[in-house]
Structure 1
Amino acid sequence: MITVGAFEAKTHLSSLLERVAQGEEIIITRHGKPLARLVPVNVADRSRIDSAIAKLKVLRKNCTLDGISWQTLRDEGRR
């Protein structure tokens, strides 16, 4: 991962995009503070994935089958 200033990013955008297309991640800063992140389109945002998994785990804890086994439900769904 590299860091570039906003002016440099504007000046060298096409070459930065080439680097991103090759899998690199680039942080753009303004006055030394991170402002934006360039990542390849096919790279998943790990924080969003982790958040979704955490929400599913909470949802799963609150779900019950009221004494019915999951195998029974599975078999019922196959009919």
Structure 2
Amino acid sequence: MKQNLSNHINLLEAKTHFPDLIQRVQDGEQITICKHNTPVAKIITQKPKMDNIVEQIRECSKGKTLAPYTIKELRDEGRKW
């Protein structure tokens, strides 16, 4: 597959090698598709939904504490100043 350093590819090559392009995008690249040397589309990774990220943080923090302090102790300490 013909590819230059700026990740531009013509429409016919994109159609022919679409599965390979998708794999490259999954690996972190951004691909620009050109028609008659004019950029017409860009393939980029989709950002994960925030709900998934929040759930991952909750799962990761299960069972963890701000030891040796409780939230009440941290709050009361902050009120001293």
- After TM superposition, the score normalised by the length of structure 2 is 0.50
| SS across alignment from 1:40 | coil
Structure 1 gap ranges (5+)? 44-79
Offset at 1:5?
A: 0.2
Corresponding position of 2:7 = 2
| SS across alignment from 1:42 | coil
Q: Residues 1-79 of structure 1 correspond to what in structure 2 (within 5 A)?
A: 1-42=6-47
- After TM superposition, the score normalised by the length of structure 1 is 0.52
**Where in structure 1 do 4 or more consecutive aligned residues deviate above 6 Å?**
none
Distance 2:30 2:8 in 1: 9
Distance 1:42 1:23 in 2: 12
Provide the identity percentage. 35
| SS across alignment from 1:29 | strand
Which has the larger helix fraction? 1
Distance 2:30 2:47 in 1: 12
Structure 2 gap ranges (5+)? 1-5, 49-81
Corresponding position of 1:47 = none
Aligned residue identity for 1:20: V
Aligned length: 43
